[in-house]
């Protein structure tokens, strides 16, 4: 049974992951078509998002594999035979619980160690893509816009890669518009990030809300722009997003970051979301056991029970996400983050244990004990009342 449910789980997990990965990867095709990146960079960026994708799909794959296995075994009368032989629902469903515990452990390891490292690597790759866009993709004599409100133009490029006749216009800030004009420029990449260094030029800036649009002109011999701020959420080079931070940084955030109350709320949400997500595969398995772990006649349709399990699983997960959003505002809501999946596990386990007692046998014993005179026995001559 463990082999069957594990095979079904892996098949469902790989299928759903491939479908969702393909749908998300198609959105990144502009890296190849418009930003001049190769297939290797494309697959690197999409592969780094797989761990977070798998952690979202794995609980649902566990639930679907458990429902499929229990329905098939009941249809083949295997659960009926095991129950008739004296096996309890816990003995029958022990492999399902074992699979859920293994998946939960793997999700916890991925959330704590693998996914944050992948998110940081993805952030570095995006920064590299932006730098490559400016240093390699820009064509002399053409205006290029890597993102909304940002425009580059170069007159020519020398053999050593130096940009000549550089125009850099930035109007992403709603308050201030800046234009850089430089005689030459160069891209510098190191461990701290990628930078555009401009030589012998001017900065034109003005307040976008100023009706007169008075322009301030500043001459410079050398000016530097951090290209890593062009990434989403990358205005501060060294500031990591909560999903990119190691677990210890979430537990004890650095004081020099100058975090606000909202930032602490986001860190608190990310920390407990990583630790509470592994509880959901176990909760989903116990839901399946409670409603489908009992032996039923093969003439009885189980679609109603399957849909009920799916509905309860969706309701529990939505409740967990809702409470997780509440954690960003109130610290006391952390209790609910764990109470929802743990409560679902306890209630489902109690329900499965109660349903182990055969209802028909209890009813028959009740009639035999308290109404012996009303029992009708069938004989060859007809019906006799005892």
What's the pLDDT tens digit per position in 160-171? 878 889 998 888
Question: C-alpha distances in angstroms, 7 versus 143, 211, 332?
Answer: 53, 67, 40
Burial class of residue 30 (count of CB atoms within 10 Å of its CB; 0-12, 13-18, 19+):
exposed
- CA–CA gap between residue 107 and residue 357 (Å, rounded): 35
Q: Is the pLDDT of residue 83 over 50?
A: yes
DSSP SS3 for 71:
helix
Q: Which residues pair with 263 in a beta bridge?
A: none
Mean pLDDT of 269-275: 94
Q: Which residues pair with 150 in a beta bridge?
A: 147, 170
Q: Is the pLDDT of residue 379 over 60?
A: no
Q: CA angle, 199 as apex, 195 and 200 as ends, to 5°?
A: 155
- Predicted confidence at residue 354, as pLDDT, reads 84
> SS3 string of 254-305?
CHHHCCCHHHHHHHHHHHHHHHHCCHHHHHHHHHHHHHHCCCCCCCCCCHHH
Structure tokens at 86: 């004296």
Q: What is the pLDDT of residues 328-341, one digit of tens each?
A: 989 899 999 999 99
Q: Between residues 376 and 351, which one has the greater pLDDT?
A: 351
pLDDT grade, residue 286 (50/70/90)?
Answer: very high
Task: Report pTM.
Answer: 0.73
Structure tokens at 355: 């349903």
Mean pLDDT of 95-122: 95
- CA–CA gap between residue 340 and residue 368 (Å, rounded): 44
pLDDT grade, residue 226 (50/70/90)?
Answer: confident
- Predicted confidence at residue 143, as pLDDT, reads 82
Q: Is the pLDDT of residue 246 over 60?
A: yes
Task: Report phi then psi at 207, rounded to 5.
Answer: -80, 125
- H helices, E strands: number in the chain: 14, 8
- CA–CA gap between residue 57 and residue 19 (Å, rounded): 11
Whether 49 and 24 have beta carbons less than 8 Å apart is answered as yes
Q: What is the CA radius of gyration of the chain?
A: 31
Q: Is the pLDDT of residue 106 over 70?
A: yes
- CA–CA gap between residue 255 and residue 253 (Å, rounded): 6
Whether 23 and 56 have beta carbons less than 8 Å apart is answered as no
- CA–CA gap between residue 253 and residue 324 (Å, rounded): 19
Task: Report phi then psi at 154, rounded to 5.
Answer: -130, 145
Mean pLDDT of 292-314: 87
- Predicted confidence at residue 132, as pLDDT, reads 62
Residue among 287, 289, 280 at smallest CA distance from 73 = 289
Mean pLDDT of 289-305: 84
Mean pLDDT of 316-324: 93
- Predicted confidence at residue 361, as pLDDT, reads 43
Q: Which residues contact 118 (CB under 8 A, 6 or more apart)?
A: 48, 49, 50, 51, 52
Q: Is the pLDDT of residue 2 over 90?
A: yes
Tell me the pLDDT of the chain averaged across its residues. 82
Question: C-alpha distances in angstroms, 314 versus 63, 156, 249?
Answer: 11, 57, 31
Q: Between residues 44 and 347, which one has the greater pLDDT?
A: 347
């Amino acid at each position: 049974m463990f082999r069957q449910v594990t095979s079904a789980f892996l098949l469902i997990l790989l299928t759903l992951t491939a479908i969702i990965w393909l749908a998300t990867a198609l959105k990144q095709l502009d890296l190849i078509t418009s930003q001049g990146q190769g297939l290797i960079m494309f697959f690197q960026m999409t592969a780094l998002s797989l761990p977070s994708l798998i952690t979202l799909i794995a609980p649902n794959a566990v639930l679907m594999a458990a429902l499929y296995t229990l329905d098939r075994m009941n249809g083949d009368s295997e659960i009926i035979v095991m129950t008739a032989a004296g096996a309890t629902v816990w003995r029958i469903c022990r492999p399902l619980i074992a699979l859920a515990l293994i998946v939960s452990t793997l999700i916890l390891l991925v959330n704590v160690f693998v996914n944050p490292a992948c998110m940081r690597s993805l952030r570095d790759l995006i920064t590299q893509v932006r730098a490559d866009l400016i240093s390699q993709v820009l064509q002399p004599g053409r205006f290029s816009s890597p993102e909304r409100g940002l425009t580059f133009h170069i007159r020519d490029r020398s053999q050593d890669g130096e940009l000549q006749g550089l125009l850099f216009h930035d109007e992403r800030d709603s308050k201030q518009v800046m234009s850089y004009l430089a005689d030459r420029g160069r891209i510098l990449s190191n461990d701290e990030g990628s930078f555009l260094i401009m030589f012998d030029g001017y900065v034109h800036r003005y307040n976008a809300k100023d009706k007169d649009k008075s322009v301030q002109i500043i001459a410079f011999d050398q000016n530097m722009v951090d290209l890593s701020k062009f990434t989403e959420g990358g205005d501060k080079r060294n500031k990591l997003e909560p999903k990119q931070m190691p677990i210890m940084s979430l537990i004890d955030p650095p004081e020099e970051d100058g975090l606000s109350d909202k930032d602490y709320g986001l860190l608190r949400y990310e920390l407990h979301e990583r630790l509470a997500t592994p509880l959901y595969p176990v909760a989903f398995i116990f839901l399946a056991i409670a409603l489908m772990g009992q032996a039923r006649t093969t003439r009885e349709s189980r679609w109603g029970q399957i849909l009920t399990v799916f509905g309860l699983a969706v309701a529990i997960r939505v409740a967990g996400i809702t409470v997780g959003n509440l954690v960003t505002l109130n610290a006391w809501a952390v209790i609910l983050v764990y109470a929802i999946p743990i409560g679902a596990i306890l209630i489902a386990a109690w329900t499965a244990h109660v349903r182990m007692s055969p209802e028909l046998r209890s009813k028959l014993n009740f009639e035999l004990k308290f109404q012996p005179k009303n029992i009708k026995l069938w004989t060859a001559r007809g019906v006799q009342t005892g």
